[in-house]
Structure formats: C-alpha cells, structure tokens
Amino acid sequence: MADITVKDTQAQVVAKETYPSKLELSSEAWEVMRKDAENRFPFECCGFFYGKDGEVRKVSLTTVVENSKEGDQRRRFEISPLDYMRAEKKAAVEGLDLLGIYHSHPNHPAIPSVYDLKQAVPHFSYIIVSVKEAAFDHVRSWRLNDDGKFAEEQINY
Ligand SMILES: [Zn+2]
C-alpha cells in the first residue's frame, strides 16, 4: 500500500525522459554544496549556483543561503525573496548566469518531492544532494520540462 502511494506521487513529479542539458561543476562549486549539505545535517541546506549557460551548463560558483523555512527544516527548505534578489545581483556583478538552486535531502534519496515541484521555476537546474547520517551519499539534478515535471539532467562533478 505504502509503495503504491510513493510511486504514484513520483509519477506526478518526475518525468520518464531525461533533460537534454548537462551540468558540469567545478570542484570548488561542488565542494561548497557537499560540505553545506553535510554540515547542516539533519536539516536541509540550500543555496544558488552560477556559471555559463548552454547545452552544457558550466557551474563555477556556489553561494550558501540560509534556510528561511519556519518550523521543521528536516523536510523543507525555503529561500527568501531578498536572497533571490541578492543572487541575481551576485550573478550580474560576477558576470555569470544564475543557473539554479541546490538543496539537501537528509536521510532521503535525491528525488524531488511534490513540495519541490511547487517551488520550482523554469530554466533553473535543481541539484539535490542526498546525505546519510551527515555524510554525502549521492547527488542528482533536475529541470522542469514542458509538462511541468522534473526531468533528470546529467551532472558531472
Ligand atoms: Zn527537496
């Protein structure tokens, strides 16, 4: 019974087809999000990443943002409008494209939730870092497709 519910929910959120774009992270950009995910355990961390857009999105910079979600941050994250504005400014100052948002899933696979889908905006890549007991486990990236579902995109780091 529980299994069926999980699968149904996933089918609403995750597309069967993968996204044609690809993410390539510099080791610096990757280390910032991996460490943030581990340090914030058992809570969800979040932040922005920047780089050059294209068929291959080259990520060169990551900024950590405070999780502004009130209440239980073990299963939720929220980024304030002010932090969105700061991120856009940062991109302009650095001459980079704002490419997306990362967050962590503590003791949970890197598959987006219904809540993640509701928060998602087009063109952003959504990196999810799965952390088990404060240690990095795996990472996946997702992007909204034309059907409004998350399609997985390849990520190299
Ligand atoms: Zn999530």
Write down the CATH number for the domain with range 2-156.
3.40.140.10
Distance 103 CA to ligand 1 centre (A): 7
Distance 112 CA to ligand 1 centre (A): 5
* Ligand 1 ion local residues (Cβ < 5 A): 113, 116
Distance 105 CA to ligand 1 centre (A): 6
Residues 33-59: pLDDT tens digits?
999 999 999 999 999 999 999 999 999
The whole-angstrom distance between residue 97's C-alpha and the CA centroid of its chain comes to: 16
What's the rounded Cα separation, in Å, for the pair 46 and 65?
Answer: 6
Least Cα distance to 101 among 12, 15, 146, 91 occurs for 91
pLDDT in tens, the chain (157 residues): 445 555 677 888 999 999 998 999 999 999 999 999 999 999 999 999 999 999 999 999 999 998 888 887 888 888 999 999 999 999 999 999 999 999 999 999 999 999 999 999 999 999 999 999 999 999 999 999 999 999 999 999 9
Distance 104 CA to ligand 1 centre (A): 7
How far, CA to CA in Å, does 6 sit from each of 14, 101, 105? Answer: 12, 24, 16
Torsion of CA 90, 71, 37, 61, to 10 degrees: -10
What's the rounded Cα separation, in Å, for the pair 32 and 117?
Answer: 24
Distance 11 CA to ligand 1 centre (A): 16
Distance 97 CA to ligand 1 centre (A): 23
Strand 22-25 to strand 46-52: parallel, antiparallel, or no bridges (unpaired)?
A: unpaired
